[in-house]
Chain A
Amino acid sequence: MPMSGELRLVSVTKRFGGFTAVDDLTLTVPQGSFFALLGPSGCGKTTTLRMVAGLEEPTAGRIRLGEADITRLRPYRRPVNTVFQSYALFPHLDVFENVAFGLRRRGAPDVAGRVRQTLDLVELSGYERRRPAQLSGGQQQRVALARALINRPKVLLLDEPLGALDLKLRRQMQIELKRIQTEVGITFLHVTHDQEEAMWMAETVAVMNAGRVEQMGPPAEIYEFPATRFVATFLGKSNLLAGRVTGTAGADVTVEVAGGRFALPQPRNRASGESVLLGVRPEKVRMARPTDVVPDGHNRLPGVITDTCYAGVSTEYLIRTGWGQELSVFSSNATADSPLPPGTEIVMHWNPAHSFLLDRPQGAEPEPPEPDEVAASPGSRFEEVR
């Protein structure tokens, strides 16, 4: 049963001339949820947001808010407000009048009281008479948020609202935004290209690429079990090994990569074809000395450390496999052991349940050669590791 205020996009398409910005997009944003549209620039996420705001009209498809079809409604008639990427604060009005703008247009009562209350919420009391130009970036951001929130929209649209802030302020505003969302209970539709921001803040993340949603779900689900090669590399890093499915062994699928055999449980398999990508996140990979004992049932892959980057909480290693591909391994610095130097021969191993299997897109990764071919051209083939 649809809730009264959920936002639904049904087969929405937007074309600009010959370019398809949003391609047959269908998604549902539950009422009161914090929903993030995540994707690289040009993936259509901002266009999607602008269509919900009414600033662009879909070429095809419908947008519904609860029971109402708002597809063709003018922006000033929609119960939706936007926090713009550039904030778009009115430079000729002070903070008070900026925040009061929406209320005044609708002739709402008690403008002064509600403005005061909203400025309290974003912790900007005392700034009423300042002009936007006299505020810092973070303060302007909060005015933009207050100006939208005060209208109690059914959906609040946030278009990369933190993009212009420096890292520290961004972290602080992320916490603030989450607090405010919980406090007011309004649906937040947040557009961002920052995967950490999306995972940190949203209950549901939709990863967009080339106008389509590649995967949608809670952040942990998407991260732990990405549905496509794009999601696996855009959301965090993934080591992707190009191989072939060779069969099944009990509840496991077996995969061959450059002569080596790997297994993983059937539920971790999203591949339908034979040529596949075996994926494993860098922090899921452990390292052992060649002489060490590797836990039972783990997949094993020998390699040589080519680079060691100490990053405080963890150390990031680049490890070259026998066929010349460089894999990434994050090792937690929970103990004070000194990092392994480049040149060390190690064995990578991981729990099969931590890996995943995807279909290999045509022409994406070349399959590594068999080991004997490798000797002839060491290091000549490697793939991008993200």
Chain B
Amino acid sequence: MTALTGVTVGQAPPPATPPRPRRRLIAYLLLLPGGLWLALFFVLPMAGLASTSLYDPAGSLETGYQMTWEWRNYVDALREFWPQFARSFWYAGLATVAGLLLGYPLAYMIAFKSGRWRNLLLVLVIAPFFTSFLVRTLAWKTILADNGPVVEALRAVGLLGPDGRLLATSFAVVAGITYNFLPFMVLPLYASLEKIDRGLIEAASDLYASPATAFRRVTLPLSMPGVVAGTLLTFIPAAGDFINAELLGTPRQYMLGNVIDSAFLVRLDYPQAAALSFMLLAAILLLVFGYVRRAGTEELV
């Protein structure tokens, strides 16, 4: 520093560049811990997974795997498991829509109408997290059980045949997923609704908008960031979920998560499991990218 000041004495003000490299260094230093963590526990395993997915499927844990650039792993896996693949996105989509339909009114009520009950209601939304995901899903098994009150009530009013059941159906799986990810839908929706200036809704009403029109033209568009965040936070984990299908469904309801689970842990077919994992990842990324681009350019401020 002293050398620098010596040079600039009696000259035009020093250019703004000298402190820059130092500042950049600090930025890199701040990035280092997180970067190392990601490199060690994300990039490296991903590379491992990528290479595993191209191993010779003839190998096994005992005999070891050969790297043979087996692109066929992907084709074979897709051919064999495309129904589960499609089901994953179908269930995740259904659960996201159901979550939005349930979560939006709830978030709206908490944000605009709850008054002094607001904090209690927010705690109630988060309360399920105090018990384990597994326990909560098992509880749904009891709720939807064949001799449970829900099924009995539905049978009584004739909405379900005498042998009709809820457990072990697609409905049970989608309901479970919807329930488990509902807080992830409600919280971002609440956050974006709560931020909306009430003055804007008053202004809409002052400008001849009925309550319904004011909601459609002002509240809903302004809550779109919450809708996008909530749907992503529900859809992404839901597409990779396997617990709900495992506990509330049958193999006929299995999703890609169940297949990957069994390929890794039961059949020990590592190359196939890795290939399926990569395809799921790629499919989710593509869908999310397309969705955010659309929503981002049209609806977001």
Contact = CB atoms under 8 A, between A and B. Distances in A.
A151 interface: yes
Contacts of A151: 207-208
Contacts of A84: 199, 202-203
Nearest to B200: A88
Contacts of A88: 197, 199-200, 202-203
Contact of A76 (B197, B199, B210, B218): B210
A106 B202 contact: no
A53 interface: yes
B206 A53 contact: yes
A91 B206 contact: no
Nearest to B199: A88
A50 to B, nearest CB: 9
Given A101-B207, A102-B208, A92 B202 contact: no
A91 B61 CA distance: 59
A207 to B, nearest CB: 26
Contact of A81 (B197, B199, B207, B210): B207
Interface string A63-101: 000000000001111001110101011111000000001
B208 A105 contact: yes
Given A90-B200, A91-B222, A55 B206 contact: yes
B170 interface: no
Contacts of B218: 90, 92
B169 interface: no
A101 B214 CA distance: 11
Contacts of B208: 76-77, 102, 105-106, 151
A77 B209 CA distance: 9
Centre residue among B204, B206, B222 by max chain A CB count within 10 A: B206
A147 interface: yes
Interface string A334-364: 0000000000000000000000000000000
Contacts of B202: 55, 75, 84, 88
Contacts of B209: 76, 101, 105
B206 A76 contact: yes
Nearest to A82: B206
Nearest to A97: B217
B195 to A, nearest CB: 11
Contacts of B205: 54-55, 74-76
Contacts of A131: 301
A97 to B, nearest CB: 10
A163 to B, nearest CB: 14
A203 B210 CA distance: 34
Interface string B268-301: 0000000000000000000000000000000101
Contacts, number: 65
Contacts of A101: 204, 207, 209, 217
B221 interface: yes
A89 B214 CA distance: 13
Given A76-B208, A88-B197, A92-B222, A105 B203 contact: no
Contacts of B200: 88, 90-91
B60 interface: no
B147 interface: no
B299 to A, nearest CB: 8
A147 B207 CA distance: 8
Contact of B206 (A81, A90, A106): A81
A198 B204 CA distance: 28
Contacts of B301: 91-92, 131, 133
Interface in B33-87: none
A148 B179 CA distance: 45
B262 interface: no
Nearest to B213: A105
Interface string B177-193: 00000000000000000
Given A102-B208, A105-B208, A151-B208, A90 B213 contact: no
A84 B204 CA distance: 12
A90 B214 CA distance: 11
B200 to A, nearest CB: 5
A133 B300 CA distance: 14
A90 B219 CA distance: 10
A34 to B, nearest CB: 20
Interface string A50-61: 000111000000
B206 A75 contact: yes
Given A55-B205, A90-B218, A105-B207, 5 more contacts: A55-B206, A76-B205, A76-B208, A92-B301, A147-B207
16 contacts: A55-B202, A75-B202, A76-B205, A76-B208, A76-B209, A82-B203, A84-B203, A88-B197, A89-B203, A91-B222, A92-B221, A102-B208, A105-B208, A106-B208, A147-B207, A151-B207
